[in-house]
Amino acid sequence: MAKRKPEEKIQPHTSQLKKKQALIIGASSDMAVAMSHLLAEQGWNLILAGRNIKDLREQSSDLGIRHKIIAEPLALDLTDGKGIAKKIQSLDGVPELTVCFAGIMQDEDQARTNYETAERILTTNYNGVIHAVNPIAEMLKKEGYGVIAVVSSVAGDRGRQSNYHYGSAKAGLTAYLSGLRNYLYSYGVHVLTIKPGFVRTSMTEGMPLPGPITGSPEKIARDIWKAIRKKKNVIYTLWMWRYIMMIIRNIPEFVFKRLKL
Ligand SMILES: NC(=O)c1ccc[n+]([C@@H]2O[C@H](COP(=O)([O-])OP(=O)(O)OC[C@H]3O[C@@H](n4cnc5c(N)ncnc54)[C@H](OP(=O)(O)O)[C@@H]3O)[C@@H](O)[C@H]2O)c1
């Protein structure tokens, strides 16, 4: 498709999201559940994508009844290679909003020594998300509007010994989203990168989380929605993580390599 002339640019704005259909990838995540309720309360119809179709069916039915919207499940496994794009392309219509929450964090010692674990972390957090987002981006490009919001992580801002397999996949994802935002801007499609710090979810269950800098899934969902409406490019949630990561990124490498982080 030829690039739009500057005067033809369509600025992405939620007022353009008329059909109000959103695709939620990783819909079983606690943050995604909070986001789904927030969107459904405002009349958005939802497609809930993830691996466990039985649970997603129940989740869809609950949302549909509670909020009087249309919610449907979509079986999607981000380790499914070429099958991912096929699933997305099989959608009936183009969801003008996609929010991707899918991701996994696994034991770092195992990732260092076990091929399958390392592969699962990299494939789910990086390759899989990209293979799901690419076809959505192409569909929205043709429409000339829409929003793609993807949850990356502060862990991608600097590799640390405690989770550098996960962190490097998220760093790659953050770079991909930056490029995608740059690519889609002139087509009127907005890309939001979401970088949560600590969030109380099943992923962090049992971990000692510092209260003041730990968010609830509901707070993260509200921050994401606010960022979509305000056309933010990159958000940290909770907000103080922007400054925490600024400090961490600026520690000189000769000091950083000696720290136990
Ligand atoms: N919790 C935190 O402190 C924190 C901090 C920064 C960033 N994040 C990011 O936030 C996002 C949501 O995480 P969460 O904390 O809410 O964790 P969570 O509850 O464990 O949710 C992870 C989601 O990813 C989905 N998923 C995992 N592997 C998948 C695959 N192969 N194909 C499709 N979906 C798959 C899970 O679906 P299933 O039901 O199929 O397992 C689940 O919906 C993740 O991207 C995570 O990296 C979390």
Q: Which of 25, 28, 29, 219 to mutate to test the pocket of ligand 1 (most atoms within 8 A of CB)?
A: 29
Output the tens digit of pLDDT for each of the chain's 261 residues: 444 443 333 344 454 555 699 999 999 999 999 999 999 999 999 999 999 999 999 999 999 999 999 999 999 999 999 999 999 999 988 999 999 999 999 999 999 999 999 999 999 999 999 999 999 999 999 999 999 999 999 999 999 999 999 999 999 999 999 999 999 999 999 999 999 999 999 999 988 899 899 999 999 999 999 999 999 999 999 999 999 999 999 999 999 999 999
Is 50 touching ligand 1 by the criterion CB < 6 Å? Answer: yes
Distance 166 CA to ligand 1 centre (A): 12
The boundaries of the domain holding residue 239 are: 17-256
pLDDT score for 34:
98
Residues in CB range of 53: below 8 A, 6 or more apart: 73, 75
- CA 248, CA 210: separation in Å to the nearest integer? 17
CATH code at 26? 3.40.50.720
DSSP assignment of 232-261 = -SEEEESTTHHHHHHHHHHS-HHHHTTS--
User: How many residues make up the chain in this entry?
Assistant: 261
Tokens of 216: 């609830």
Four-point Cα dihedral 45, 51, 57, 62, nearest 10: -60
2 within domain boundaries = no
Distance 101 CA to ligand 1 centre (A): 6
Number of domains observed in the structure of the chain: 1
Is 196 touching ligand 1 by the criterion CB < 6 Å? Answer: yes
221 within domain boundaries = yes
Atom 44 of ligand 1: nearest residue by CA position: 103
* Cis omega (within 30 of 0) for bond into 238: yes
- 49: helix, strand or coil: strand
1 within domain boundaries = no
The pTM for the full model equals 0.93
